[in-house]
Amino acid sequence: MKVLVVGSGAREHALAWKIAGNRRLTRLYCLPGNPGMAELGELLPGDPEDIEGVATMAARLGLDLTVVGPEGPLVKGIADVFARRGLRLFGPTAAAAQLEGSKSFTRELLARLGVPGPAHKVFDDAAEAREYVAGHARPVAVKVDGLAAGKGVLIAREVDEAQAAVQSCMSQQMYGPAGSRVVIEDLLSGEEVSALALVDGRRALQLPSAQDYKRALDGDRGPNTGGMGACSPAPAYTAELAAEVQTTVFAPVVRAMYEEFDAFRGVLYAGLMLTADGPMLLEFNVRFGDPEAQVILPRLEGDLLDLMEAVLEGRLDRVNLAVRPGACVSVVLAAPGYPGEYPRHLPITGVNRASALPGVIVFHGGTARDPAGGLVTAGGRVLAVTARGDTLAAAAELAYEAAAHISFPGMQFRRDIARGTPGEGG
Ligand code: GLY
């Protein structure tokens, strides 16, 4: 099989790494990929958001399957473009990807289906939104309706913070046109977990659970980031909770998408808050999480391409999802200043020494090669140092031992991944 992975972060490196183990794989391509992915396959130039261009490339190379990492091309309709050209792609159509592309679509669907979630209201008018928060005593999450590069969720504990959040999203459009509509949700408290499922149109098959550490600093302090680390399993997500979420979240949503909109085929990621009143849905994503993919994929025993083909062919009822016992932990090494402004082109050392440790995989996120071939930083989340172990504690120990081999100027990372509890999010 000739397979293309679209994207360039550590999630896509993890996808490429897992796919590279397939016995039927003949060629692996990555667009645009990164230096870690270059060790597994051929890098192709191109922009994932240029969905027609990616399809033209897939047709020219005679690819058997294209796997899309980020949400942008999916929400834009890359699956629809591929389908029109008779090309196979793993990921939902634009209609199904609304589950991530429009928070108001999702909230309205969930309310109608009775899926547990926070109390919320949708606003298209900034004055009405300001008036609502002025009379609302509870902390809220102000969420821009559309995609905002992971930045469009503002937590406000006081009325003036909520007013400022509405102002920046709706009036100043700091997150672009995606903010002309906002969803204002009551902030939930509890423990946040990520439940990802493969969905074949009619069925959802949950993957091993994961937990993302979103804040920049130890103890869940500091600004929100794209994720400073992850662990799998999420200890609080018991088999009983997984069964409950299957019934209260995945089953009704998958059925409604099939019957009323467009069958969802791909990975559906439910961001859940485990509250005193039971699990509640915070958000859906329509792709693997980053950094969740880095800890979920190493725990799958079976073949990812086989699973993806079962999704496309609607036969998830006939697959056996084999999961490695034990745990996996990933620690993100970030550039100085991240998630604010940060420098690039900082020389990185020690990746090979870290990767040589048994049970360790170093996924590249924001890296590049300098003209002399040396590895340098090229983004905020530079590397995801990932380790498997018999327990979360053992996996964390090994991940930190591996991370100690790596250095670049100003390197920062959390020291409590899988050693502390991520707190409330939004
Ligand atoms: N880990 C959060 C996300 O992938 O959106």
Q: Which domains does the chain have, with CATH numbers?
A: 2-91 (3.40.50.20), 125-180 (3.30.1490), 191-318 (3.30.470.20), 327-403 (3.90.600.10)
Report whether residue 200 contacts ligand 1, using a CB cutoff of 6 Å.
no
Ligand 1 nearest-atom number relative to CA 292: 1
Output the pLDDT for position 135.
86
Q: How far is the CA of 287 from the centre of ligand 1 (A)?
A: 9
Q: How far is the CA of 288 from the centre of ligand 1 (A)?
A: 8
Atom of ligand 1 nearest to the CA of 230: 1
Answer left, alpha or beta for residue 335, where phi above 0 means left and psi between -120 and 50 means alpha.
Answer: beta
Angle formed by the axes of helices 304-312 and 10-19, to 10°?
100
CA distance readout (Å), 354 to 201, 331, 386, 402: 40, 12, 10, 5
Centre of ligand 1 from the C-alpha of residue 312, in Å: 23
Q: Is 212 in the pocket of ligand 1 (CB under 6 A)?
A: yes
For the record, the structure tokens of 3 come out as 């397979």
- Our answer on whether the CB atom of 71 is closer than 6 Å to any ligand 1 atom is no
> Quick one: tokens of 237?
């997500």
State if residue 283 touches ligand 1 by the CB under 6 angstroms criterion.
no
Which among 373, 315, 322, 311 is positioned nearest to 348, based on CA atoms? Answer: 373
Q: Is 289 in the pocket of ligand 1 (CB under 6 A)?
A: yes
Ligand 1 pocket mutation pick from 71, 74, 106, 269 by most atoms within 8 angstroms of CB: 269
On whether the CB atoms of residues 34 and 13 are closer than 8 A, the answer is: yes
Q: Given the CA of residue 289, which atom of ligand 1 is nearest to it?
A: 4
Please work out whether the CB of residue 227 comes within 6 Å of at least one atom of ligand 1. yes
Could you tell me whether strands 375-377 and 327-334 are parallel, antiparallel, or unpaired per DSSP bridges? unpaired
Cα 280 from Cα 270, distance rounded (Å): 10
For residue 424, the model assigns a pLDDT of: 43
Residue 237 and residue 225: Cα distance in Å, rounded? 23
CB 292 near ligand 1, within 6 Å: yes
User: What separation in Å is there between the alpha carbon of 290 and the centre of ligand 1?
Assistant: 5
Ligand 1 atom closest to residue 11's alpha carbon, by position in its atom list: 4
Nearest-CA residue for ligand 1 atom 3 is: 289
CB of 377 closer than 6 A to ligand 1?
A: no
Within 10 angstroms of residue 312's Cβ, the number of other Cβ atoms is 16
Residue 285 Cβ contacting ligand 1 at under 6 Å: yes
Q: Does the C-beta of 422 come closer than 6 Å to ligand 1?
A: no
Residue nearest to atom 5 of ligand 1 (CA): 289
pLDDT tens for the 426 residues of the chain, in order: 999 999 999 999 999 999 999 999 999 999 999 999 999 999 999 999 999 999 999 999 999 999 999 999 999 999 999 999 999 999 999 999 999 999 999 999 999 999 999 988 888 888 889 888 888 888 998 888 888 777 788 888 888 888 888 888 888 888 888 788 888 989 998 999 999 999 999 999 999 999 999 999 999 999 889 899 999 999 999 999 999 999 999 999 999 999 999 999 999 999 999 999 999 999 999 999 999 999 999 999 999 999 999 999 999 999 989 999 999 999 999 999 999 999 999 999 999 999 999 999 999 999 999 999 999 999 999 999 999 999 999 999 999 999 999 999 999 999 999 986 564 443
State the distance from the centre of ligand 1 to the C-alpha of 134, rounded, in angstroms.
30
Instruction: Report the separation in Å between the CA atom of 403 and the middle of ligand 1, taken as the mean of its atom positions.
Output: 22
Q: Ligand 1 within 6 A of 139 CB?
A: no
Cα 415 to averaged position of ligand 1 atoms, centre (Å):
20
For helices 126-134 and 159-166, angle between their N-to-C axes, nearest 10 degrees: 170
- pLDDT in the model for residue 420: 64
Distance 348 CA to ligand 1 centre (A): 25
What pLDDT is stored for residue 231 in this prediction?
A: 98
* Best CA proximity match to 280, nearest among 195, 214, 157: 195
Question: Looking at residue 426, what is its pLDDT?
Answer: 38
3-state secondary structure the chain: CEEEEEECCHHHHHHHHHHCCCCCCCEEEEEECCHHHHCCCEECCCCCCCHHHHHHHHHHHCCCEEEECCHHHHHHCHHHHHHHCCCCEECCCCCCCHHHHCHHHHHHHHHHHCCCCCCEEEECCHHHHHHHHHCCCCCEEEEECCCCCCCCEEEECCHHHHHHHHHHHHHCCCCHHHHHCEEEEECCCCEEEEEEEEEECCCEEECCCEEECCEEECCCEEEECCCCEEEECCCCCCHHHHHHHHHHHHHHHHHHHHHHCCCCEEEEEEEEEEECCEEEEEEEECCCCCCHHHHHHHHECCCHHHHHHHHHCCCHHHCCCCECCCEEEEEEEECCCCCCCCCCCCECECHHHHHCCCCEEEEECCEEECCCCCEEECCCEEEEEEEEECCHHHHHHHHHHHHCCCECCCCECCCCCCCCCCCCCC
Would you state the pLDDT for residue 152?
80
**Which pLDDT belongs to residue 425?**
41
Determine the pLDDT at residue 177: 80
Crossing angle, helix 251-260 and helix 103-113, to 10 degrees? 110
Using the Cα atoms of residue 294, residue 33, residue 415 and residue 397 in order, give the sign of their dihedral. positive
Best mutation site among 74, 106, 209, 212 for ligand 1 pocket (most ligand atoms within 8 Å of CB)? 212
